[in-house]
Homo-oligomer: A and B are copies of this chain.
Amino acid sequence: MTIHTAEEFVIPQKIPFEVPLVLQNGQVLPRFDLMVETYGTLNADKSNAVLICHALSGNHHVAGRHTHEDKYPGWWNNMVGAGKPIDTEKFFVVGLNNLGGCHGSTGPLSANPASGENYGADFPMVTVKDWVHSQAMLADYFGIAQWAAVAGGSLGGMQALQWAIDLPERVRHALVIASSPKLSTQNIAFNDVARQAILTDPDFHGGHYVRFNTVPRRGLRIARMMGHITYLAEEGLGKKFGRALRGEGYQYGYGIEFEVESYLRYQGDKFSERFDANTYLLMTKALDYFDPAAEYGHNLQTALSRTQAKFFVASFSSDWRFAPERSHELVKALVAAHKPVQYIEVESNHGHDAFLMEDEPYTRAVRAYMNNVYKELQA
């Protein structure tokens, strides 16, 4: 097997945009950087570009490794790479860290030109529409007039959907995976609890914790632990951990007793060390605000009637965060708007996280779809 160096060792690049960006809430970002990774080669007519949008805690590092020492590859390494369903031998794939992120793009940890200090809580609230806007500027930077496809899972799928609605002529295909046309009341409720855990952490200091040399680790840890439960399904959790105990019999104390506790706390600990709390807050708000139908009289069909893309929609049977019913809403509205859509409902025990997992029927469906996208480009 040939080693595709370009894929195996990817080099992130920070792309500066020295122009003001007017945000949905009316605030203006005077300038911004986007942290980007690309895989594969942009063809001569720049028609083979695929944009990958990340979910709540993702970033630009979609696939491959940065160094030999990297323990894990990018977050969608199953899906993106040479010979993978989104094949980097055919497509020029672009991953980015969204505005407001904490992995190199301008966000709460960046310097605020107004103060010289980091933004912290002063970073403006960004929305899915803002991200699409900034991603369009990124497309311009690469000279990409139209994406062959915009793809993402969860919050990433929402960006793909918003792209197709806001900039219809610039998207040939939208892959909306494990996503939803808007959050449910329960989704918003969970987000609020997560935010409250962070906002009420005494180390949060109104979001200016960097100034105080603290990090609201407790709150972020609780938020992530809870979030993690909603990403998984009892089917998978039960199979993996059941009621298995760490030691012999009950300990009658508050240490780790059940294996699932060990797993969850580990996830919370790890996350609270690597992720920025202000970014977490912003991302959950972007989720809450997402509701593309709202601009069109709260009629999703009307919103979708503008789109020119073909759609691939996928959901996962045990996903209770964005259940298959949420994808059905989208598919029904697309059908009603006479838009081409291909839908797959994947049997899975992995809940919402299934969109990140290796799964044969899911992978095969994306591969087949992307092969057709490629054929279309050749025609």
- 6 closest A-B pairs (Cβ-Cβ)? A125-B252, A25-B252, A185-B237, A186-B234, A192-B261, A193-B225
- Which residue of B is nearest A182, CB measured? B243
Which applies to chain A's interface (DSSP): helix, strand, loop or mixed?
helix
Is B264 in contact with A229, judged by CB distance below 8 angstroms? no
Residues 144 to 202 of chain A near chain B (Cβ within 8 Å): 182-186, 188-190, 192-193, 195-197, 199-202
CB distance from A186 to the nearest CB of B (A): 4
Within 8 Å by CB of A189, from B192, B252, B254, B264, lies: B264
* Known contacts A125-B252, A200-B218, A254-B199; A185/B225 CB under 8 A: no
CA distance A288 to B252 in the complex (A): 11
Is A229 in contact with B25, judged by CB distance below 8 angstroms? no
CB distance from A259 to the nearest CB of B (A): 9
CA distance A222 to B218 in the complex (A): 12
Q: How many A residues are at the interface, by size bracket?
A: 35 or more
Does A265 sit within 8 A of B, measured CB to CB?
yes
* Known contacts A193-B225, A243-B291, A252-B25; A188/B218 CB under 8 A: no
Does A238 sit within 8 A of B, measured CB to CB?
yes
Does A20 sit within 8 A of B, measured CB to CB?
no
Does A72 sit within 8 A of B, measured CB to CB?
no
CA distance A157 to B263 in the complex (A): 29
Is A288 in contact with B258, judged by CB distance below 8 angstroms? yes
Residue numbers in B under 8 Å from A289 (CB-CB):
250
Residue numbers in B under 8 Å from A197 (CB-CB):
197, 222
Does A337 sit within 8 A of B, measured CB to CB?
no
* Known contacts A192-B260, A225-B192; A185/B242 CB under 8 A: yes
Q: Which of A184, A186, A240, A258 counts the most B-chain CB atoms under 10 A from its CB?
A: A186
Residues 200 to 232 of chain A near chain B (Cβ within 8 Å): 200-202, 218, 221-222, 225-226, 229, 232
Does A345 sit within 8 A of B, measured CB to CB?
no
Does A241 sit within 8 A of B, measured CB to CB?
yes
Residue numbers in B under 8 Å from A243 (CB-CB):
182-183, 185, 188, 291
CA distance A368 to B186 in the complex (A): 35
- Which residue of B is nearest A229, CB measured? B189
CB distance from A158 to the nearest CB of B (A): 15
Does A257 sit within 8 A of B, measured CB to CB?
yes
- Which residue of B is nearest A242, CB measured? B185
Does A268 sit within 8 A of B, measured CB to CB?
yes
Does A281 sit within 8 A of B, measured CB to CB?
yes
CB distance from A291 to the nearest CB of B (A): 7
- Which residue of B is nearest A201, CB measured? B218
Residue numbers in B under 8 Å from A124 (CB-CB):
252
Residue numbers in B under 8 Å from A261 (CB-CB):
188-189, 192
CB distance from A119 to the nearest CB of B (A): 15
CA distance A190 to B230 in the complex (A): 10
Is A229 in contact with B265, judged by CB distance below 8 angstroms? no
Is B222 in contact with A186, judged by CB distance below 8 angstroms? no
Q: List 8 A-B contacts (CB under 8 A).
A: A186-B238, A188-B243, A188-B258, A189-B237, A189-B260, A196-B225, A201-B218, A254-B285
Does A116 sit within 8 A of B, measured CB to CB?
no
